[in-house]
């Protein structure tokens, strides 16, 4: 296998809170290959977005910092790069789209100006060429009458259109990795499907690797090849999407999948009651304890779960789950 494009090893990110520091990302390792689509799923507050921000070097200043581990991107160690070098990578080699398309565009500039801005920041092209390129990009994200709409302000666009513009900005410099942090959470369902279609098509055309962060198991099943289930800052389960959805090994993954109605709907016709994962994600104070952090919500917990952090258990293929009972469940 070729060298992965992005290789995160034993990453640990700590947040400073009033009660001291808490590891919001605890010993996370994964690889992303060129052209691959990797998905992060998990509840809110599990460290999915933090992982993305850590890769971008955009952890909240003065509060969050990387304390251990490495992020290798394309032969460079991102955790050791200067701010200036990181800035050059951001938007050029790795770019990101955000959850809230309604507020992710600067309200005082036209969308054309915002796309051109990114192009001029990273590429040595003339302003006229940048405008032509911006029109092409808007066209590529399927905004009709692209050339005219370049002169529109964000408030003249709908939420779905704004997210398309965000994607256009993110893809402007043909990045190697696109991080999509819940790109459709704020959009309605029909628009969600369109955005996912768009992302999938663009990936095929450009070969950009996509890291998709989402709550939406359905989207993961459709979009991604591999997925990572995160819980309380740790990886609960990692592997190919088909394997994990077919045979989830970690009780948390099982819980997440059984929460989704349509994943089960085509498997069986009899209506199963929709389950939920009882309880909530532990507070930051609990993070980093030497135990299984899911134990408080797990019906299979044993004494072992409460006294030691589970080891990663490998299954055939590349699937592995961090659970003491993964093999027996």
Partner 1 sequence: MTDKPTTTDQSAPVTELLDEPIEKARHPFMEAWDMFRRNQAALVALIILVLIIIAAIIGPSLYGRDPFEMVWAPFTPPGQNPDFILGTDYLGRDLLAMIISGARVSIIIGLAAAFVSVFIGVTIGALAGYYRGWVEEALMRFTEFFQVLPTLLFSMVIVALFGASLPMITFAIGIVSWTAVARITRAEFLRIRELEYVTASRASGARDFKLIFGVILPNALPPIIVQSALMVGSAILFEAGLSFLGLTDPNVVSWGQIIGSNRTYFLDASFTVTLPGVAIFVTILCISLVGDGLNDALNPKLRSR
Q: Strand pairing partners for 70?
A: 9
According to the binding rule CB under 8 A, does residue 318 interact with partner 1?
no
Q: How far is the CB of 279 from partner 1 (least distance, A)?
A: 30
Binding mask 157-176 for partner 1 (x = CB under 8 A): ---------x--xx-x----
According to the binding rule CB under 8 A, does residue 329 interact with partner 1?
no
Nearer to partner 1, 108 or 267 (CB): 108
Q: Which of 48, 90, 203, 325 binds partner 1 (CB under 8 A)?
A: 90
According to the binding rule CB under 8 A, does residue 95 interact with partner 1?
yes
Q: CB under 8 A: which stretch of 17-25, 93-101, 223-231, 234-242 binds partner 1?
A: 93-101
Nearer to partner 1, 17 or 29 (CB): 17
According to the binding rule CB under 8 A, does residue 88 interact with partner 1?
yes
Q: Terminal CA-to-CA distance of the chain, rounded, Å?
A: 31
> Binders of partner 1: how many residues, by CB under 8 A?
37
3-state secondary structure the chain: CCCCCEEEEEEEEEEEECCEEEEEEEEEEEEECCCCEEEEECCCCCCHHHHHHHHHCCCCCCCEEEEEEEEEECCEEHHHCCHHHHHHHECCCEEEECCCCCCCCCCCCCHHHHHHHHHHHHCCCCHHHHHHHHHHHHHHCCCCCHHHHCCCCHHHCCHHHHHHHHHHHHHCCCCCEEEEECCCCCCCHHHHHHHHHHHHHHHHHHCCEEEEEECCHHHHHHHCCEEEEEECCEEEEEEEHHHHHHCCCCHHHHHHHHCCHHHHHCCCCCCCCCCCCCCCCCCHHHCCCCCCCCHHHCCCCCHHHHHCCCCEEECCCCCEEECCCCCCC
Q: How far is the CB of 89 from partner 1 (least distance, A)?
A: 8
Nearer to partner 1, 214 or 319 (CB): 214
Q: How far is the CB of 246 from partner 1 (least distance, A)?
A: 35
Q: How far is the CB of 137 from partner 1 (least distance, A)?
A: 13
The dihedral of CA 278, 305, 300, 256: what is its sign?
positive
According to the binding rule CB under 8 A, does residue 108 interact with partner 1?
yes
Q: CB under 8 A: which stretch of 55-63, 200-208, 265-273, 313-321 binds partner 1?
A: 55-63
According to the binding rule CB under 8 A, does residue 148 interact with partner 1?
yes
Nearer to partner 1, 79 or 161 (CB): 161
Residue with tokens 């054309």: 112
Contact (Cβ atoms closer than 8 angstroms) between residue 96 and residue 173: no
Q: Which of 92, 194, 206, 314 binds partner 1 (CB under 8 A)?
A: 92
Q: How far is the CB of 200 from partner 1 (least distance, A)?
A: 22
* Measured distance CA(196)–CA(184) in Å, rounded: 8
According to the binding rule CB under 8 A, does residue 16 interact with partner 1?
no
* Measured distance CA(324)–CA(329) in Å, rounded: 10
List the structure tokens of 262.
Answer: 């349509």
According to the binding rule CB under 8 A, does residue 89 interact with partner 1?
yes
According to the binding rule CB under 8 A, does residue 74 interact with partner 1?
no
Q: Which of 6, 11, 22, 56 binds partner 1 (CB under 8 A)?
A: 56
Using CB under 8 A as the binding rule, the residues of this chain from 208 to 247 that contact partner 1 are none
Return residues touching partner 1 (CB under 8 A).
56, 58, 61-62, 87-92, 95-100, 103-109, 117-118, 121-122, 145, 148, 152-153, 155-156, 166, 169-170, 172
């Amino acid at each position: 296998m070729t060298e992965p494009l992005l290789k995160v090893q034993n990453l640990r990110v700590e947040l400073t809170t009033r009660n001291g520091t808490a590891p919001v990302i605890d010993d996370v390792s994964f690889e992303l290959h060129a052209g691959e689509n990797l998905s992060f799923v998990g509840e809110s507050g599990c460290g999915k977005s933090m992982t993305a921000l850590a890769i971008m070097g955009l952890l909240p200043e003065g509060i969050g910092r990387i304390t251990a581990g490495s992020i290798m991107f394309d032969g460079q160690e991102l955790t050791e790069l200067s701010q200036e070098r990181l800035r050059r990578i951001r938007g050029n080699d790795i770019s990101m789209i955000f959850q809230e398309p309604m507020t992710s565009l600067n309200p005082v500039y036209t969308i054309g100006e915002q796309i051109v801005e990114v192009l001029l920041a990273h590429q040595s092209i003339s302003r006229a060429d940048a405008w032509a390129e911006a029109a092409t990009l808007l066209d590529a994200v399927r905004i009709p009458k692209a050339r005219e709409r370049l002169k529109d302000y964000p408030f003249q666009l709908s939420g779905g259109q704004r997210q398309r513009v965000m994607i256009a900005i993110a893809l402007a410099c043909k990045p190697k990795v696109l991080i999509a942090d819940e790109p459709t959470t704020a959009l309605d369902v029909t628009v969600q499907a369109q955005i996912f279609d768009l992302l999938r098509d663009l990936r095929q055309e450009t070969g950009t690797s996509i890291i998709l962060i989402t709550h939406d198991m359905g989207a993961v099943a459709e979009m991604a090849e591999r997925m990572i289930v995160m819980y309380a800052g740790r990886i609960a389960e990692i592997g190919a999407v088909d394997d994990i959805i077919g045979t989830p090994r970690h009780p948390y993954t099982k819980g997440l999948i059984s929460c989704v109605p349509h994943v089960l709907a085509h498997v069986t016709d009899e209506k199963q009651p929709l389950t939920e994962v009882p309880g909530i994600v532990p507070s930051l104070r609990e993070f980093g304890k030497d135990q299984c952090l899911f134990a408080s919500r797990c019906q299979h917990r044993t004494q072992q779960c409460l006294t030691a952090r589970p080891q990663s258990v490998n299954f055939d293929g590349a699937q592995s789950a961090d659970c003491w009972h993964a093999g027996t469940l």
